Amino acid sequence: MSFTSARDVYLLAVARGVSYLGDFMAATAILLALQDRGAGGSAVAAVLIASVLPVVALAPLVGRLVDRVDSRVLLTAVGLGQAACCAAMALTTNTWLLITLVALLAAGVAVTSPTFNALLPDCAGPDGVGRAMAIGQTANSIGTLAGPALAGVLVGAFGLRVPLLIDAVTYLAVVAAGLLLRTRRTAPTEAAGTGRTPWKIRDDKFLLALTCLVGAIVLTINVDMVVGVFFIRETLGGSPAEFGLVEAAWTAGMLAGGWLAASRARDDGALGRALALMHLATALVVLLSGFVTAVLLVYPLWLLGGAVNGAENNFLGVIAARRVPAAVRGAFFARFGAVINAANLIGYAAGGVLVGRFEPRQIVIGCGVAGLIAAATLGGWMWRVSAAAGSAAASSLPGTSSSRSPSPACSGSAP
């Protein structure tokens, strides 16, 4: 199995991995700093909401940008802006100004994330997407594995400023990727002026069911993101470093799960059924974590949950590369991300309310139960549409990369 541009696959992975390192370190550091300052669940929820609201609100505009503006211009300009934003965050001590800057930083992520996602299938080629996803997820996992653990150490030793300054430096990796990647997305060249109706997620029942399933699971269990720091630190008596290690355990599991999924090339129907089962397993892991009595017992559950999550991400990337027309990949990833982040947003807001009214353990258990209900309900729909889906169906879509149709080359792609 060969890539269209192996150099760009690895360059893309390294750039995102370094950026993830800084992001997760900064995010964990901010949560720990707020908790140490005595901030309540509302402040924690406000930070999390600020990190996703721009992604939801800007999705329509971002989709058009990613599909119409040179990817090199987007990555370099936005990466420089994000570095400056992080530097400003390091210099402020005002909680609400910090939250505002988090929102500004997220506006940049709203652009760079779908840009990277849309580039990957063209860097990898139709047969290499699964392996490229695993390589990228390995780099992301290393970054997210080290980030929370480093945050726990750095916050304890230096406070919040040092992790944020490091995050500012890591955004230069995004700038470097923009300048060095040979694979580029420029103005659309296919399906232009043909009079075709614009492609939308709802045109594909398989992708519609998948989007609803993922969104529902995120909505029901991501309340746990708000309560997690209180559950580990207060209910289980964990230290800042232990909280960071718990976060890292999930990422370590993702690393293994991504590679296991990469070696299992199946048609879309089989992948859809696997995803239905995996989301059920994710909810079950969250439910079981609500019954533990020591931080040590959370680690194996989070490793398992991360492994399932890593496989889910890999399968999602493969399915998107097969079924989404190349000319609108930016719009797809922006809008899919908006649905997921809207679910995040509602979950974070609910978490901020619930933390002040219930014990952390009760909330975690409630998240797990709600997740199981959502996975069973929408997973059934996913299972039914998967029975009629197959990789051959994807090849009938105009401009789609599938196992039977070559990926359209981007401007400047390496041979």
pLDDT means per 10 residues, the chain with 415 residues, are 81 88 83 73 78 83 86 91 90 84 88 87 81 84 78 82 88 88 70 52 86 88 80 88 82 82 74 91 94 93 91 86 83 85 82 85 92 91 81 38 29 30
Structure tokens at 358: 């219930």
Classify residue 84 by burial, with Cβ atoms within 10 Å: 0-12, 13-18, 19+. middle
DSSP letter (8 states) at residue 295:
G
Residue 410 DSSP SS3: coil
DSSP letter (8 states) at residue 198:
P
**Rounded distance, CA 393 to CA 323, Å?**
8
The predicted structure's pLDDT at residue 362? 93
**Rounded distance, CA 196 to CA 105, Å?**
36
Structure tokens at 158: 């230096």
Q: Is the dihedral of CA 45, 51, 55, 58 positive or negative?
A: positive
The predicted structure's pLDDT at residue 276? 92
The predicted structure's pLDDT at residue 301? 94
Task: Write out the DSSP string of 54-121.
Answer: HHHHTHHHHHHHHHHS-HHHHHHHHHHHHHHHHHHHHH---HHHHHHHHHHHHHHHHHHHHHHHHHHH
pTM of the model: 0.72
Do 287 and 372 form a contact (C-beta atoms < 8 A)?
yes
**Rounded distance, CA 81 to CA 354, Å?**
35
Do 343 and 219 form a contact (C-beta atoms < 8 A)?
yes
* No. of helices (H) and no. of strands (E), the chain: 16, 0
**Among candidate residues 249, 276, 250, 4, the one with its CA nearest the CA of residue 131:** 4
Exposure class string for 100-121: b at 16+ Cβ within 10 A, else e: ebbbbbbbbbbbbbbbbbbbbb
Q: How far is CA 367 from CA 11, 217, 254, 371, 387, in A?
A: 38, 10, 21, 6, 29
CA–chain centroid gap for 173, Å, is 18
**Rounded distance, CA 331 to CA 328, Å?**
5
**Among candidate residues 184, 121, 122, the one with its CA nearest the CA of residue 320:** 121
E-assigned strands of 30-164? none
Task: Write out the DSSP string of 287-316.
Answer: HHHTT-SSGGGHHHHHHHHHHHHHHHHHHH
6-185+201-394 homologous superfamily: MFS general substrate transporter like domains (1.20.1250.20)
The predicted structure's pLDDT at residue 263? 66
Structure tokens at 165: 């300054």
Structure tokens at 48: 């999390």
The predicted structure's pLDDT at residue 39? 67
Q: Is the dihedral of CA 287, 288, 291, 295 positive or negative?
A: negative
- What does the domain layout of the chain look like in residue ranges? 6-185+201-394
